[in-house]
Structure 1
Amino acid sequence: MSALRALRQLSTTSSRVLASRQLSTVSRIAALPARVSAAAPSTSRAFSVSARRFGEGTTDVALSQKLQEELNYEKEAEAGQAATPDFLKAFQEQNVWEIHDPAGSDEVTLTRKFGNENLRLMFSIADIQGQEEDFQSSEPESEAEPDVEEPLHSYPIRASLSITKTTAPGCLNVDMVCQEGNFIVENVSFYRDAKLGTDLTAEADWKRRGAYIGPQFDTLDVGLQEEFDKYLSERGVNEHVALFIPEYAEFKEQKEYVRWLGNVKSFVDQ
C-alpha cells in the first residue's frame, strides 16, 4: 500500500481505540429494557427506511458514506499528480519492455524479445500488502537514531522470469527476489516442454511442483553465479528494472485500491 495511506492509518490508530470505547458505551445503552427505548423519538424508524433503499441492512448508508469519504480523500491526493508518473514515462521511453497490467489483477507482466528468445517477467503487488503491518507496528516515538533511514523500497518483491526460444524447445525459469535495486536469484529451473514452463493454469502449476527445480542458486560455484548474472543483465533483467518494479507495484496498488473502493461502494448502493 502507499506510504501516505499507511501513515494516515497509523495516525488514526488512537482515534479508532477511542471510537471503539464509545461504541461499547452505545452498545450498553442499546441493551437497556424495551420500555426505556420505547420512549425514544421515532426518527430511528425513518433512518431504517432510508437505509433499506440501499439494501437490506440498516448499516448500508453509513458504510456507503464512509467509502465515499475514502474515495474523495484518495482522489484529492491524486488531483495534483500526473496520470503517467515520470518514472513510468522514462521506462516506456526506453522501449525495451512491454507492460501488461490488466485491471483488477494483482499481477503485472513485462515482456520483450531478445534475438530468438521471448522473455516474460512477472511480479505481484501482493508482496507490498504486508508492509502495512510492519509500518503500523513501528512506534512513532522510537529511540532509534534519527539519521538512520530505511532504503527506498527496501521490501522484497518476488519475480519470476521465463525464457523460451523460437528455434529450440524448452523453457528456462528463474525465480528471483527484487530488492533495493537488485535481483537476487533463488533458483534456475529448466523444462523440456516450453508450454509446461510458461502455462499459468492450475494443472501446469501442479505438474511443475513435481519437477526438479534446480539447486539453490547460492550453492552454485561463485563463477557460475556470476555468469548467470551477466546472462540475465544482457537480456535487460538489470538494476534499472529492479528499481522500476517496486515503484510500479506501489503505483498499481494505489490504482487498484481506488478501483476497489468504487466497486464496493457501487455494490453496497444497489
Structure 2
Amino acid sequence: MFSRLFVRSASVAARASRQARYTPTLLRAPLSKSAIRPLHVSAVTFNKNCQKVAQVLDGEVALELEEDTANLPESVQAFFDKTGYSAVSSPGKNMAEIVNKSARGETVHVFFDVAQVSNLPLETAGLDNEMAAPSEEEDFEGMADNFANVNVIIVKDADQSAVSFELLMNLQEGTFFVDSATPYHDAKAALDESAESEVSRELVYHGPPFSNLDEELQESLEVYLESRGINEELATFIGTYSEFKENKEYISWLQNMKKFFN
C-alpha cells in the first residue's frame, strides 16, 4: 500500500564543544618514598575495573540469551516460504538485504537499515485525549520520525538493466511512499557497495520529486511496485525481521565487548 502524502524530513545536528579546565597542584615539598604508590597497585585497580565491565556484560548476555533469539520467528519463515524471498547474510552490519528471483525474469533486491526500523515508534503520538494537540511543526517532525528508508532495486535478468526505488516506509500503517526512481543501464552501478559506487550514485540524476510527476505516472509506478510485492505484508516482515536481526547483532556486540574486557 502506498501513501500519497509527501513528507520531507530534515534534521539539524548541533554539536557543542566542552573545554576541560585543569588547575595544576603546587607541590610544597618533595614526595617521600613512602608517599609514592607502587605501580602494581594501579594495575590491580585497572584490572578490577575491567573485571567489573566484564561482569556486567556477562549479565547482559545471559539476560538476552534467556529468550529464543537464535531461530527465525515463525512469521518471518512463513514470509520467506510464501514469497520466495531469502535473506542475504550480513553479520555485523545494520543494513539487511532480501532477494527474490522471480519467474518473470526479474530479481528484486530490498535493502533496509534494521537499527533505523527497530527504533521507529510503536505507537502513534497524540492518541491520549488528555494530551494537548501538537503544533504544526511538532506534528511534521512526529510524522517524519515514523518513516524508515527502504531501497528496492529491480533488475532485469536478460540485460542486467535496473531501476532503483528510494522509498519511505511507515511501519505503523504498513504503507510506502516513493521518494525517487532512478534507472541504471547496468545493475552493478545500482548494487555495488564500494565507496566509489556510493559516490557515483549520489551524483546521478534521480529525476524530479516523485510528487511532481504526472499523477497517472505516479499511480502506474505504485501499482507496478505493488505487483512486485512492495505492500503491507512486506512492511510487517521488515519490522519483525529488523527486531530479530538487531537483537542478534546486539548479542554479538555484547560478546565482542566481553572478549576485550576479559
Q: TM-score when scaled to structure 2?
A: 0.69
| Partner residue in 2 for 1:71 | 61
Alpha-carbon deviation of 1:169?
Answer: 4.8
Q: Matches of 1:61 and 1:240 in 2, distance apart? A: 46
Q: Matches of 2:233 and 2:79 in 1, distance apart? A: 9
Q: Matches of 2:240 and 2:153 in 1, distance apart? A: 22
What pairs up with 1:217-256 in 2 under 5 angstroms? 217-256=210-249
2:155·2:162 contact (CA, 8 Å) conserved in 1? yes
Q: Of Structure 1 and Structure 2, which has the larger fraction of its residues in helix?
A: 1
Match for 2:237: what amino acid?
F
Q: Matches of 1:119 and 1:88 in 2, distance apart? A: 18
Match for 2:168: what amino acid?
V
Counterpart of 1:210 (choices 180, 196, 203) is 203
Alpha-carbon deviation of 1:118?
Answer: 1.5
Match for 1:118: what amino acid?
T
Gaps in structure 1 of 5+ consecutive residues: 1-37, 39-43, 53-57, 146-153
| Partner residue in 1 for 2:152 | 161
Superposition CA RMSD, Å = 3.1
Q: Matches of 2:80 and 2:223 in 1, distance apart? A: 23
How many equivalent pairs are there? 207
> Which fold has the larger relative contact order, with Cα–Cα distance below 8 Å and residues 6 or more apart in sequence?
2
- Superposed CA deviations along residues 53-83 of structure 1, whole A, max 9, x for unmatched, are xxxxx4101111111111122222x15x783
Q: SS of 1:105's equivalent?
A: coil
2:70·2:248 contact (CA, 8 Å) conserved in 1? no
What pairs up with 1:117-266 in 2 under 5 angstroms? 117-128=106-117, 144=131, 155-179=146-170, 180-266=173-259
Match for 1:201: what amino acid?
S
Q: Matches of 2:71 and 2:119 in 1, distance apart? A: 26
Q: Matches of 1:122 and 1:183 in 2, distance apart? A: 14
Q: SS of 2:239's equivalent?
A: helix
| Partner residue in 2 for 1:49 | 44
Q: Matches of 1:253 and 1:51 in 2, distance apart? A: 32
- Superposed CA deviations along residues 68-107 of structure 1, whole A, max 9, x for unmatched, are 111122222x15x783322212212214211113221111
Q: TM-score when scaled to structure 1?
A: 0.67
2:85·2:98 contact (CA, 8 Å) conserved in 1? yes
Q: SS of 2:75's equivalent?
A: helix
Q: Matches of 1:70 and 1:240 in 2, distance apart? A: 33
Match for 1:122: what amino acid?
F
1:171·1:198 contact (CA, 8 Å) conserved in 2? no
Report the identity percentage.
Answer: 30
- Superposed CA deviations along residues 229-259 of structure 1, whole A, max 9, x for unmatched, are 1101111122211111112111111111111
Q: SS of 2:87's equivalent?
A: strand
2:118·2:242 contact (CA, 8 Å) conserved in 1? no
Residues 129/111 of structure 1: CA separation in 2 closer, same or farther (3 Å cut): closer
Alpha-carbon deviation of 1:228?
Answer: 0.7
Counterpart of 1:105 (choices 88, 93, 99) is 93
| Partner residue in 1 for 2:71 | 83
Q: Matches of 1:104 and 1:172 in 2, distance apart? A: 28
